[in-house]
Amino acid sequence: MITYALLYLIPADPARQIAGRSATAETVENIRNQLGLDLPFYQQYFQYLWNLL
């Protein structure tokens, strides 16, 4: 849980990095939605645990 929390606190935006610098705001938002980054922290964490199983 500590490792997951530290990764969550990093100021980098994974969706922006995947989309690239020239991506539109809509593209970045779609990537966030697909990856579940628009969910609250606790939901992201439980989804992560579920996917590990």
The pLDDT of residue 36 is 92
Residue 52: its H or E element: helix 41-52
Q: How far apart are the first and last CA of the chain?
A: 15
The pLDDT of residue 13 is 86
Q: What is the mean pLDDT for each group of 10 consecutive residues in the chain (53 residues)? A: 83 89 94 93 92 92
The pLDDT of residue 19 is 94
Q: Where are the alpha helices (DSSP H) in the chain?
A: 2-9, 14-19, 25-35, 41-52
Structure tokens at 21: 């610098």
The pLDDT of residue 9 is 84
3-state helix, strand, coil in the chain (%, to 5): 70, 0, 30
- Strands (DSSP E) contained in the chain are none
